[in-house]
């Protein structure tokens, strides 16, 4: 179970304190694909980063399968993140000097899992990227880039996928591929949490949570 309780996060901007998230709680059961909607600046990305163990909340607790990642020291927390969380970003964030296959295999940098290359090849084949294995990100279409980023996020079969506007830069067809993959991935007993301001994308989720920026 993914459980957020009374999460609070504020940022200091010059002399002002901006409360981005204020007492947000959320519970996600296994196998669920959740969409979080909200206007720009409502704290969607901030929420995602807090769940992704990259941004410590000012208040409240984050429990991922019963573990509070913020109670772990940074080194252990990084390992926890590598094992349990996969990220998909709107801007893809592929490393420009690595090929498609190599970008996917960066998920294997920390934990050397056996047969990672075979798994990656299978995954890329599943996402229709088998003809792009040795291509650099700059040689890919936008949809192919996002599918590569998706393959990277799921290579280690993490329990939790966090997606930040994953279809924001995609056309409808490519967007549908991604959303369909999320739905199927969650159905395998995982959690997928997607933040989006797209109503269409949100409607493909099992549940929609709204973040009002308070």
Q: What does the alpha-carbon distance between residue 157 and residue 188 come to, in Å, rounded to a whole number? A: 10
82 contacts other proteins (rule: CB under 8 A): yes
75 contacts other proteins (rule: CB under 8 A): yes
Of residues 91-120, which lie at the interface with other proteins (CB under 8 A)?
91, 93, 95-98, 102, 105-111, 116
25 vs 79, beta carbon nearer other proteins = 79
204 contacts other proteins (rule: CB under 8 A): no
75 vs 173, beta carbon nearer other proteins = 75
DSSP 57: -
83 contacts other proteins (rule: CB under 8 A): yes
52 contacts other proteins (rule: CB under 8 A): yes
Query: What Rg value do the Cα atoms of the chain yield, rounded?
Result: 17
Angle between helices 172-187 and 142-154 in degrees, nearest 10: 10
Phi, psi of 155 (to 5 degrees): -55, -45
User: How are beta strands 16-28 and 2-13 bridged, if at all?
Assistant: antiparallel
81 contacts other proteins (rule: CB under 8 A): yes
* Residues contacting 59, CB < 8 A, separation 6+: 6, 7, 8
Q: What does the alpha-carbon distance between residue 78 and residue 128 come to, in Å, rounded to a whole number? A: 31
Residue of 61, 67, 70, 78 that binds other proteins (CB under 8 A):
78
Residue of 2, 28, 49, 195 that binds other proteins (CB under 8 A):
49
Residues in the site for other proteins, rule: CB under 8 A?
45-46, 49, 52, 54-55, 74-75, 78-83, 85, 87, 89, 91, 93, 95-98, 102, 105-111, 116, 152
């Amino acid at each position: 179970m993914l459980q957020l309780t009374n999460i609070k996060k504020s940022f200091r901007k010059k002399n002002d304190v901006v409360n981005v998230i204020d007492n947000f709680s959320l519970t996600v059961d296994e196998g669920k694909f959740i969409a979080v909607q909200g206007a720009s600046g409502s704290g969607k990305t901030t929420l995602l980063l807090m769940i992704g163990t990259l941004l410590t909340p000012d208040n409240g607790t984050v429990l991922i399968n019963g573990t509070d990642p913020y109670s772990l020291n940074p080194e252990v927390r990084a390992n926890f993140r590598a094992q349990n969380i996969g990220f998909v970003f709107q801007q893809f964030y592929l490393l420009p000097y690595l090929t498609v296959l190599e970008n996917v295999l960066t998920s294997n940098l920390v934990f050397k899992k056996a047969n990672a290359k075979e798994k990656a090849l299978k995954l890329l084949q599943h996402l229709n990227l088998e003809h792009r294995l040795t291509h650099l990100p700059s040689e890919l279409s936008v949809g192919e880039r996002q599918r590569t980023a998706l393959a990277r996020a799921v290579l280690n079969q993490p329990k939790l996928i966090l997606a930040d506007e994953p279809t924001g830069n995609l056309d409808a067809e490519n967007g549908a591929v991604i959303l369909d993959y999320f739905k199927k991935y969650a159905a395998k007993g995982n959690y997928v949490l997607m933040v989006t301001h797209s109503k269409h994308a949100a409607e493909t989720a099992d549940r929609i949570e709204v973040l009002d920026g308070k």
